[in-house]
Amino acid sequence: MKRLIIAASLVSAVLLVSSSPVRADSQTFTMTAENGSSESGTVTLTPILGGTRVHIKLDNQPAGAIQPAHIHVGGCPGVGAVKYPLKDVVFGHSTTIIKGVPPDQIVGWSGGYAVNVHNAKDDMKTYVSCANIR
């Protein structure tokens, strides 16, 4: 009986130590079509160990398009400098890990950020979709 109690205690201790930390829920923001693109969707920020996963999902992306995306300083539609580069949106999706930056440093920043998707690498001035991150 004593061995059973010791074994159960050890198993409980291992499970307690190895369980993942509690994390906040993901936050999803609406991507709004710009410049007549009809490309709308969502951007979701998810806390991960040591950073943030940013996932963009766009509907109505043109077939074969490869569209650059960034988190910019400021809000839609007129945004400022690039703060965090993101992976290109391809087939309507982009997933980027921003290491060392938890979501609350992106969402909670007083100046505000926006996620912008650009038309193409050779047309960075045309935004096709944007979401305010506040």
Query: Using 50, 70 and 90 to split pLDDT, how confident is the model at 111?
Result: confident
What kind of architecture, by CATH, is found in domain 23-133? Sandwich (2.60)
Beta bridge partners of 48: 51
Where do the H-state alpha helices sit in the chain?
A: 2-18, 103-107
Residue 61 has pLDDT above 60, yes or no: yes
In whole angstroms, give the CA distance from residue 71 to residue 122.
Answer: 19
pTM of the model: 0.80
* pLDDT recorded at residue 109: 76
Dump pLDDT digits (tens) for 18-39.
333 334 489 999 999 999 999 9
Query: Hey, where are the domains in the chain?
Result: 23-133
Q: Determine which of 9-13, 24-28, 128-132 has the lowest per-residue pLDDT on average.
A: 9-13
More confident residue, 16 or 3: 3
